[in-house]
Structure 1
Amino acid sequence: MTKDKSYPPTLYTGTNGHIVKKRLMPDGEATPLPVEPSLLVTEHSPDGFSWGYNGSGPAQLALAILLDITSDPETARKFAYDFLSDFVSGWQDGWGITSDIVLAWLDKVKAEYVALKAGKN
């Protein structure tokens, strides 16, 4: 299930190689994004998050962000590699992304997936 778009957006940020935080905008307190919930879905990297390349740490981060935003393990698992490829693999230290951007991307990717699947039938 995707969060209601009327919720305040959440800002996800990454610094110092592995520290990922999230905060409700505009003035919420930043808290660490936990790795544990995403490890229960798929264990890519028990050592935690990373970004800036295609690997296990970035795959875990992609899954964790999608899981945090959608609260849906199946959706997070299904689209994590696309999110990794489109976003996480290219991030540098000091990156940031909002839940609104992720939800818009997810809507687009889901529509493309449905159209592709319909074209094969």
Structure 2
Amino acid sequence: METNSTTNPRAAVQDANERCQTNTDRVEYVGMRVDGTPVVLKLTEHERLTPDRSLDLVRHSPAGFDWGYVGSGPAQLACALLLDYYDDENVAHQHYIQFRNEVISQLACDGPADCWHLTGDDIEAALGEFQDHHALTPDGGGPSASLPANWSAVSRTDRTVFQRRDIDHYVVLAEGSEEWLIILCAQGDRAYPAPLDHRTRPVEANPAPAVQELIAESNDLVEPDEEAT
């Protein structure tokens, strides 16, 4: 019976071992297209990386992974790689969008082996750069070095929300298929938040400056409470 490497992880791993060289002393992922289907392998453990675990965290692309551009398939791959490597849902959820934008979107199957390689060292170096730049990321509700003292970033299942601590102002960061939608809104006594202002940015752009603009606008509209700062 003929073996299909797109559905048989062991066959895909064997095929990858013939096409790509790896150092078994380090964590290494390799991606390739098998009959047009994106396949990602964790070579150090001889297994195929699947979206299953990452789909419990974010659901950008239930159909599978992709790379080489900014989109839903690369977002799912970014989350899956970080989750697999760090085994930490908070780290994966905080950094996968920036990891997609900066790393996964740049991956390409090239060279004699017609595949890409990503090592644990590569992943750690990328996240180190993100942290050095103090990216705006959810941090469980605590103060962030990239936000004013009266604001906190919190993680929701489908989006990131930046919450003002002294009044009911929020900045909601939502990713669409082609652009970011960043909304400043106020809750107060209303049943639903009322939008005060918004920004849109291309999905490949860093949304942090727009978030900071709206946060500054809120602080200009209502001066922060001294106790909150």
Please report the TM-score for the alignment, with normalisation by the length of structure 1: 0.80
List gaps (5 residues or longer) in structure 1.
1-7
**SS where residue 41 of structure 2 aligns?**
strand
Answering whether residue 98 of structure 2 is matched by residue 82 of structure 1, we say yes
Match of 2:84 among 60, 68, 74: 68
Q: Number of matched residues? A: 109
Displacement after TM superposition at 1:51 (Å): 0.5
Q: Note if contact 2:29-2:43 (Cα within 8 Å) is conserved in structure 1.
A: yes
1:107 CA drift (Å): 2.4
SS of match in other structure, 1:113: coil
Cα RMSD after superposing both structures: 1.9
The one-letter code sitting in structure 2 at the alignment partner of 1:113 is H
Q: Does 1:14 align with 2:34?
A: no
Tell me the equivalent position of 2:145. 117
**C-alpha spacing 1:47/1:112, structure 2 compared with 1 (3 Å):** same
Instruction: Please identify the structure whose Cα radius of gyration is greater.
Output: 2
Partner residue of 1:97? 118
By percentage of residues, which structure has more helix?
1
Which runs of 5 or more structure 2 residues have no equivalent in the other structure? 1-24, 110-114, 136-143, 150-229
Give distance in 1, aligned partners of 2:30 and 2:96. 17
Cα offset, 1:119, TM superposition: 7.3
Q: Which has the higher strand share?
A: 2
Going from structure 1 to structure 2, the CA distance change for 1:119 and 1:46 (only over 3 Å counts) comes to closer
Q: For residue 101 of structure 1, report the CA deviation from its aligned partner.
A: 1.3
**In 1, distance between residues paired with 2:55 and 2:85?**
16
1:56 deviates by 0.6
Distance in 2 (CA, whole Å) between partners of 1:9 and 1:113 is 28
Q: Which runs of 4+ in 1 moved over 4 A?
A: 118-121
TM-score by length of 2: 0.44
With over 3 angstroms needed to count, the CA separation of the structure-2 counterparts of 1:55 and 1:119, relative to structure 1, is: closer
